[in-house]
């Protein structure tokens, strides 16, 4: 099915659910799946729907066609914005949605079915696992346009890939092939052209065979160690533990019965 963002002829995102796996496909193949405001809104809506569906165990994101995962932000979408709108409506909104993707409760697998440049690489970096087809390339070309990465390319990418590797891309314009990216630890696996989604579904099956709560908590803990929403992860885990205690049940009962609770420390 498709979401309502984009035109009737070209919805920005195609989505499907197969056996507990949510699959989203960036759908602007003629424009190399470049991201505009409608695409960002579609990703935001997909995250909301995926988070809310308790039957979904894993999420997969890829691109349509065979020419690119995503060439990054659509220059036509931001070039005409005034400085305030550029910072508020383009950079901040993209950041917010990418943060949501990185903090998705389900594991997220990205399939690079082609190059991922600029914002496309920043989008891929929100994933827990990255499968790259052999024709994939990655890079951060923003400084060649006189701008800087804006959707956490200098932040999340540094945390996940290391500052020296990111500097090679952002400062010197290094473009990594799929093989080079694997050697640098920028992608987890390489597969033949056209087989990325199949491999991602196999990985999703491996994940689905594990304890769902354990997987979700493990992801939250690893994200916290990496600096991804550390405070919220700690409070969520603490709240989940407290919800199992007799003290909480007694506290709620005391409130409802308008009496002082009798806590027993268990």
Considering its fold, how many domains does the chain have in total? 2
Domain end (from 168, 192, 208): 208
Q: Please indicate, yes or no, whether residues 191 and 233 belong to a single structural domain of this protein.
A: no
Q: Which residue has the tokens 């919220």?
A: 232
Q: Distance of CA 259 to CAs 251, 256, 266, Å?
A: 9, 8, 19
Report pLDDT for 82.
82
Report pLDDT for 3.
44
Report pLDDT for 99.
94
- The string over 106-139, giving b where at least 16 C-beta atoms fall within 10 Å of a residue's C-beta and e elsewhere, is bbbbbbbbbbbbbbbbbbbbbbbbbbbbebbbbb
Q: Is residue 4 part of a domain?
A: no
Report pLDDT for 114.
97
CATH code at position 50: 3.90.226.10
Q: Please indicate, yes or no, whether residues 39 and 145 belong to a single structural domain of this protein.
A: yes
Q: Is residue 110 part of a domain?
A: yes
SS3 at position 138: strand
Catalytic residue among 133, 137, 142, 228: 142
Q: Please indicate, yes or no, whether residues 192 and 224 belong to a single structural domain of this protein.
A: no
Q: Answer yes or no: 229 catalytic.
A: no
The parent domain of residue 170 ranges over 13-208
Q: Degrees (nearest 5) of the Cα angle 94, 229, 117?
A: 35
In which order are the strands placed within the sheet that holds 116-117?
Answer: 116-117, 137-139, 176-177
Contacts of 239 (CB under 8 A, 6+ apart): none
List the one residue out of 126, 131, 129, 130 whose CA is nearest residue 103: 126
Per-residue pLDDT of the chain (266 residues; tens, 9 = 90+): 444 444 445 799 999 999 999 999 999 999 999 999 999 999 999 999 999 999 999 999 999 998 999 999 988 888 887 888 888 888 889 999 999 999 999 999 999 999 999 999 999 999 999 999 999 999 999 999 888 998 999 999 999 999 999 999 999 999 999 999 999 999 999 999 999 999 999 999 999 999 999 999 999 999 988 887 766 767 777 777 777 888 878 778 888 888 898 888 88
Integer Cα distance of 264 and 23 in angstroms = 47
Element (H, E) at 23: strand 21-26
Q: Is residue 2 part of a domain?
A: no
Q: Answer yes or no: 142 catalytic.
A: yes
Q: Is residue 1 part of a domain?
A: no
Element (H, E) at 249: helix 246-256
Q: Please indicate, yes or no, whether residues 117 and 231 belong to a single structural domain of this protein.
A: no
Catalytic residue among 122, 133, 137, 228: 122
Q: Is residue 98 part of a domain?
A: yes
Q: Please indicate, yes or no, whether residues 159 and 65 belong to a single structural domain of this protein.
A: yes
Report pLDDT for 210.
96
Integer Cα distance of 148 and 158 in angstroms = 14
Q: Is residue 6 part of a domain?
A: no
Q: Please indicate, yes or no, whether residues 204 and 227 belong to a single structural domain of this protein.
A: no
Report pLDDT for 248.
77
Report pLDDT for 156.
94
Q: Please indicate, yes or no, whether residues 68 and 136 belong to a single structural domain of this protein.
A: yes
Q: Please indicate, yes or no, whether residues 184 and 228 belong to a single structural domain of this protein.
A: no
Report pLDDT for 171.
96
In which order are the strands placed within the sheet that holds 189-191?
Answer: 13-18, 21-26, 58-63, 108-112, 129-133, 189-191
Q: Is residue 7 part of a domain?
A: no
């Amino acid at each position: 099915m498709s979401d309502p963002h984009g035109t009737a002829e070209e919805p920005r995102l195609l989505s499907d659910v197969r056996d507990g796996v949510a699959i989203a496909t960036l759908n602007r193949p003629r424009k190399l799946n470049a991201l505009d405001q409608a695409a960002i809104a579609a990703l935001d809506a997909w995250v909301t729907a995926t988070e809310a569906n308790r039957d979904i165990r894993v999420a997969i994101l890829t691109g349509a066609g065979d020419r690119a995962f995503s060439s990054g932000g659509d220059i036509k979408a931001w070039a005409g914005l005034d400085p305030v709108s550029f910072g508020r409506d383009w950079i901040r909104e993209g950041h917010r949605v990418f943060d949501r993707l990185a903090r998705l409760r389900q594991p997220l697998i990205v399939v690079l079915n082609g190059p991922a440049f600029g914002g496309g690489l920043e989008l891929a970096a929100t994933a827990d696992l990255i499968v790259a087809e052999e024709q994939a390339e990655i890079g951060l070309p923003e400084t060649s346009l006189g701008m800087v990465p804006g959707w956490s390319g200098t932040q999340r990418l540094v945390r996940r890939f290391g500052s020296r590797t990111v500097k090679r891309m952002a400062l010197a314009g290094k473009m990594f092939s799929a093989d080079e990216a694997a050697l640098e630890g920028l992608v987890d696996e390489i597969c033949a052209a056209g087989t990325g989604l199949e491999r991602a579904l196999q990985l999703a099956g491996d994940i689905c065979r594990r304890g769902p709560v354990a997987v979700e908590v493990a992801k939250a803990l690893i994200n916290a160690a990496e600096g991804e929403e550390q405070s919220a992860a700690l409070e969520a885990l603490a709240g989940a533990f407290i919800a199992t205690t007799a003290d909480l049940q007694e506290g709620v009962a005391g409130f409802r019965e308008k009496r002082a609770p009798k806590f027993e420390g268990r």
